Chains A and B, each alone.
Chain A
Amino acid sequence: MKILVPVKRVLDYNVKPRVKADGTGVDLANVKMSMNPFDEIAVEEAIRLKEKGAATEIVAVSVGPAKAQETLRTALAMGADRAIHVQTDDEVEPLAVAKILKAIADEETPGLVILGKQAIDDDSNQTGQMLAALLNWGQGTFASKVEVDGSSVNVTREVDGGLETVKLSTPAIVTTDLRLNEPRYATLPNIMKAKSKPLAAKTPGDYGVDTAPRLTITNVVEPAKRSAGIKVGSVDELIAKIKETGVIA
């Protein structure tokens, strides 16, 4: 079984986003960019399935600018076998990304597509579910456990009340939650090896997908700031202050 793993290059999760003064977005010039953390978990899960013998080949895909190749090389260094870079300098929305991924899935016929549940830049949490709809496949979102069993896959999902398990017939879509696994670090020899792994260069046009945005961001602002309050010196003082708010009697 082949596994397709889409990855996105985003602002590194340790960097505090700065809103541009002109309200057009978040400043991404000269800041550290990395693979979306949920996508790292997706790559790791695919590698573990391959190590267990449940998968035979891992294909990483990224839709984005030239530098998205770095993110793909990271996936290759972790253990993906080859990569497809769909290059565009435009912002591509989840729906258009899902359409590109559908075209790639039609060509590659993977048994599973494992995606991060959301990218930490736009926090949309849509691409996996949209891809599942376009392919008419089952979807196991927010996964904390994935078990492949012949022609089906059991996915344990993190839901509001606890955990839920669904059984999907393959091919299927899985989106990762935080506790699915702890991604490995790429070793130096593997980083070197990744440089010679195949990376195909494509464009959205190759897949016949129109990436014109449906949404326009008209303004981006910083949220209202919360200022620090007071510090109290004892539990008695703390209780008195809480009582002043009127929440407790």
Chain B
Amino acid sequence: MSVALVLVEHEGGAIKDATLSAVTAASQLGEVHALVAGQGVGAVADAAAKIAGVTKVHVADDAAYGHNLAENVAPVAAAIVKDHCDYLVAPATTTGKNIAPRVAALLDVMQVSDILSVEGPDTFTRPIYAGNAIATVKSSDAKKVLTVRGTAFAKAPAEGGSGSVEAWSGGGDAGLSSFVGAEIAASERPELTSAKIIVSGGRALGSSEEFHRLIDPLADRLGAGVGASRAAVDAGYAPNDYQVGQTGKIVAPELYVAIGISGAIQHLAGMKDSKTIVAINKDEDAPIFQVADIGLVGDLFKLVPELTEKL
């Protein structure tokens, strides 16, 4: 039976949801192993072993792996895949996208990026041209490296598995890079890629102050994550990690509320798989209305406070 190694993404001792989607994709390919790399990650490894379907967890615990540096983590993943596995499956997050191609090159294989489905042991679908086309791709490499679009696969249950845990040693610091620091926004709100409801603001909000004055209370009322269009991020109304779109985050919540977003192709590419899309925009011809299930044309500065109040 084939073995697929899932690169576990974790932060602050918790496994991220994108990992669970990757486990689901991996389980369609064979037996699922997991790689937990980091510093002081014993508890994360135990949690990974409990994910339904995971039969073995390889743990690389060393200061060198503490900040997900690709230069240090990729050789570990490559070594384990080389010896034990047929696939590497990584979430298509910024961490997965950073590490997986480095592993692929070390193994001399062509990665299949951002897969939407597993059609067979060597065949996958993936979006190209910002999701304007879906390609079916067949790999001829003996070992395969995949990144997985989280919204396209259900999350594997975090409980129910009883995998074994095995320490991996070797590797260490490649001496090429070091972690300097991070500015990670602390937020009480749900993370965009796993939020059930998302409220996103666009350039029509006009300023950072208005963005937060109008979008934040609505999001809080709905228990929603907050997103933004690229135009709003470029204009400085919202930080980069809010960006929903082809080059930002790909989301598919049950409810997506687009406020003052015109609906550029690159934004639609990031949210058009949402279950229900609501759009509020003063321009009735805005492209966002071509994908919205429920549209309301009008002045967002009046309508959004009213909506927040009445919900």
Contact = CB atoms under 8 A, between A and B. Distances in A.
B220 interface: no
Interface in A90-137: 93-95, 98, 117-118, 120-134, 136-137
Nearest to B111: A126
Given A158-B240, A219-B135, A163 B98 contact: no
B184 A142 contact: no
A165 to B, nearest CB: 4
A188 interface: no
B133 A221 contact: yes
Contacts of A229: 277, 292-295
B292 A228 contact: yes
A122 B176 contact: no
A161 B184 contact: yes
Given A17-B133, A216-B137, A235 B306 contact: yes
Contact of B222 (A141, A169, A248): A248
Interface stretch (A43-51, A52-60, A63-71, A238-246): A238-246
B79 interface: no
Contacts of A94: 101, 110-111
A218 B113 contact: no
B182 to A, nearest CB: 4
B241 A167 contact: no
A129 B70 contact: yes
B110 A168 contact: no
Contacts of A215: 110, 112, 137-140
27 contacts: A17-B129, A123-B128, A124-B113, A126-B113, A129-B98, A130-B105, A132-B70, A132-B71, A133-B106, A136-B176, A138-B71, A139-B98, A141-B70, A159-B184, A160-B249, A162-B183, A167-B179, A178-B234, A213-B110, A215-B110, A215-B137, A231-B294, A231-B297, A235-B296, A238-B294, A239-B311, A242-B278
Given A16-B265, A229-B294, A239-B310, A160 B94 contact: yes
B140 A125 contact: no
A236 B309 CA distance: 11
Contacts of B209: none
A95 B110 CA distance: 6
Interface string B106-129: 101111111000000001000111
B182 A165 contact: yes
Interface string B139-169: 1110000000000000000000000000000
Interface residues of A, number: 81
Q: Interface SS of chain B: helix, strand, loop or mixed? A: mixed
A142 to B, nearest CB: 6
A223 B105 CA distance: 30
B2 interface: no
A232 to B, nearest CB: 5
Interface of B: 11, 67, 69-71, 74, 93-95, 97-106, 108-114, 123, 127-141, 174-185, 193, 196-197, 222, 230, 233-234, 239-241, 246-247, 249, 254-255, 265, 272, 275-278, 280, 284, 289-297, 303, 306-307, 310-311
A19 interface: yes
B139 A228 contact: no
Given A93-B110, A178-B230, A236-B310, A161 B137 contact: no
A166 B94 CA distance: 14
A37 B303 CA distance: 36
A29 interface: no
Contacts of A169: 175-177
A166 B182 CA distance: 9
A134 B71 CA distance: 11
Interface string A18-37: 01000001100000000000
B180 A167 contact: yes
A124 B103 CA distance: 15
Given A160-B249, A168-B177, A124 B127 contact: no
